[in-house]
Amino acid sequence: MIMPSSSVEKRTADVIIIGGGVMGCGAAYQLSKEGLSVIVLEKGELCAGGSGRNAGGVRQSARDVREIPLAVHAVQNIWPSLGEELGVDVEYVQKGNLRLGRTEAHLEKLRGLVDKNIEAGLCLRMATGAEAREICPYMSEEVIGASWCPTDGYANPFKTAFGYYQRALDHGAVFITGVTVTGLGKVRGKIRRVSTDEGTFEGESVVLAAGYYSRAIAETVGIEIPVEREDEEVFVTERLPPMFDQVLGTAEADFYGHRTKHGSFLLGGVSGLQHFTSNHEGHPTEAYTAPSLVRAIIGFFPAFANVKIIRSWSGHFDTCVDGVPVISAVDEAPGLTIACAFSGHGFGISPAVSIAIKELVMDGKSHTIDVSGLRYDRFTGSAD
């Protein structure tokens, strides 16, 4: 039974985690499993920010080399058995990722991505239009080539986040929702204090995993994270009979998506205008986004023409200036670990990130997975 209460009694723990998304829940799980006491603070409801507005791609391909160790570790070592570990069906399906091109320029771009990824040790290749259609026969002749990473896939972000949440509860973690963090503070040389609209919390360590809102919180202790919001929309189709299981993307990012275990397709993207017109508040969808996505999708997949859309939603990425996250302990503010700015591709690596956070909190460094390229101070010059 959960304990509905407006009187918050527990205010100290080994670790205070800010953010109740998949990152915060994952970190809570890993840390509480190690026997640490954990309090998670979330301003809204659980799994409602980026984790709750998420298409669920689990992709290694087309990532920056600095992220690839996380992606590869997650896909090779965690995702296949995560459902078993958490005791929930995370709906992980590993049937590959096709990134589609319809012009020679697209193919050029895709080849560049493939080459870089191969260099980073990833197994993927270019496929011709015909090969791509053999993998996914629903594609139109518009597709003249694609990158193909057979080990990519997708999972259910809600099930994953809630799975971490449930098991973290089992290990004694306490989650408090409806609490907005207003700032961090140092106590005797370490970041320990977390101020909120519901009073102060204190931990031996603090993990900041609050998506875009991490920026303002980090600023209260003089740490700048160059991140901004970028709105994205996803829509959901009616439940369909099995068609194909590959995760789709395009060289031009016209749309992305896949079929879920439930049978509906999740299809997402942007119109291009949104970034300059949205005030990012309240998650409104735009009148022109879904039609522009739909036109692109029908061009690539004519069979979708008669499929019904039943819902759409909007959310924002926490996009970093260089497109990769910050996953880092903060040297100048000991006790603080930051995991944010995932730039729209955090979910797939979240199981690996949770391990990196645990190690950063407990040992000051991530030894299982190399996250050295994701330091908080990489933006302004030498970290050394």
Partner 1 sequence: MTVIVREKSTDSFAPQAEDDMLVCRCEEVTQGDIRTAVHAGLRTFGEIKRYSRAGMGLCQGQTCQRLVRAVVAAQLKVPAGEIGRVAGRAPVRPVVMKELALSTEESEGVDDYAE
Partner 2 sequence: MKRYEMIVIGAGPAGLSAACAAAEAGMEVVVFDENAKPGGQLFKQIHKFFGSREHQARIRGVKIGENLLADAKKLGAKVVLGATVLGIYKNKEVSVRLEGEVRNYKADSLIIATGAAENMVRFDGWTKPGVMGAGAAQTLMNLHGIRPGKKILMVGSGNVGLVVAFQLLQAGCEVTAIVEAAPRVGGYGVHAAKVARTGVPLYTSHTITRALGADTVTGAVIAEVDGSFAPKPGTEKTLDVDTVCIAVGLSPMSQLADNAGCEMVYDGAKGGYVPVLDEDGETSLKGVYCAGDVCGIEEASTAMIQGKIAAAKAACELGYMSEGAFAQKAKGYRESLKKIRAGMFGPANKGRADIVATDEGYPLSQSLLKNGFIAERETADFPTFTYGGGTRVVIECTQNIPCDPCQDACPKGCIRVGADIALLPTLDASRACTGCGLCVGACSGQAIFLINDTLEDGHGTVGLPYEFLPLPQKGTSGKALDRSGRELCDAVVVDVRNSKAMDKTPMLVMKVPKIELGRARFFKVLEAATSGAEEGSVL
Site for partner 2 (CB under 8 A): how many residues? 6
Rounded Cα–Cα distance for residues 28 and 34 (Å): 10
Which of 94, 182, 285, 372 touches partner 2 by CB under 8 A?
285
Q: Which does 113 bind (CB under 5 to 8 A by kind): partner 1, partner 2, none?
A: none
Q: What's the closest the beta carbon of residue 285 comes to partner 2, in angstroms?
A: 7
Q: Which is nearer to partner 2, 117 or 274 (CB)?
A: 274
Rg (CA), the chain: 21
44 is a contact residue toward partner 2 (CB under 8 A): no
Q: Site for partner 2 (CB under 8 A): which residue of 7, 282, 305, 382?
A: 282
With both helix axes pointing from N to C terminus, report the angle between 350-363 and 157-170 in degrees, rounded to the nearest 10. Answer: 30
Nearest CA among 14, 4, 54, 31 for reference residue 158:
54
Q: CB under 5 to 8 A by kind: which of partner 2, partner 1, none does 29 bind?
A: none
* 106 Cβ neighbours under 8 A, 6+ residues apart: 100, 144, 145, 250, 251, 252
| Dihedral-angle region of residue 368 (phi above 0 means left; psi in -120 to 50 means alpha; beta otherwise) | alpha
Amino acid in the structure at residue 264: S
Whether residue 358 contacts residue 173, with contact meaning beta carbons closer than 8 Å, is answered with: no
Among 46, 149, 326, 341, binds partner 1 (CB under 8 A): 46
Burial class (CB in 10 A: 0-12, 13-18, 19+), 228: middle
Q: Which is nearer to partner 1, 157 or 351 (CB)?
A: 157
State the binding partner of 282 from partner 2, partner 1, none, CB within 5 to 8 A by kind.
partner 2
**Spatial contact of 110 and 101, defined as CB atoms under 8 Å apart:** yes
Contacts to partner 1 from residues 195-214, by CB under 8 A:
198
Q: How far is the CB of 11 from partner 1 (least distance, A)?
A: 11
| C-alpha 167 chain-centroid distance | 20
CA nearest to 138, candidates 249, 245, 244: 244
Give 123 or 310: the residue with its C-beta nearer to partner 2.
310
Near partner 1 in 214-273, by CB under 8 A: 236-238, 262
Q: Does 38 bind partner 1 (CB under 8 A)?
A: no
291 counts as binding partner 2 under rule CB under 8 A: yes
- Give the footprint of partner 1 on residues 266-285 (CB under 8 A): 285
What is the pattern of x (binds partner 1, CB under 8 A) and - over residues 129-168? -----------------------------xx--x--xx--
Select 284 or 323, whichever has its Cβ closest to partner 2: 284
Shortest CB 266 distance to partner 2, Å: 18
Handedness of CA 64, 67, 73, 75 (dihedral sign): negative
Give the H or E element holding residue 135. Answer: helix 129-135
Rounded to whole angstroms, how far apart are CA atoms 68 and 49? 24
By CB under 8 A, name the binding residues for partner 1.
1-6, 8-10, 43-48, 52, 158-159, 162, 165-166, 169-170, 172, 174-179, 198, 236-238, 262, 285, 287-288, 290-291, 294-295, 297-298, 304-313
By CB under 8 A, name the binding residues for partner 2.
282, 284-287, 291
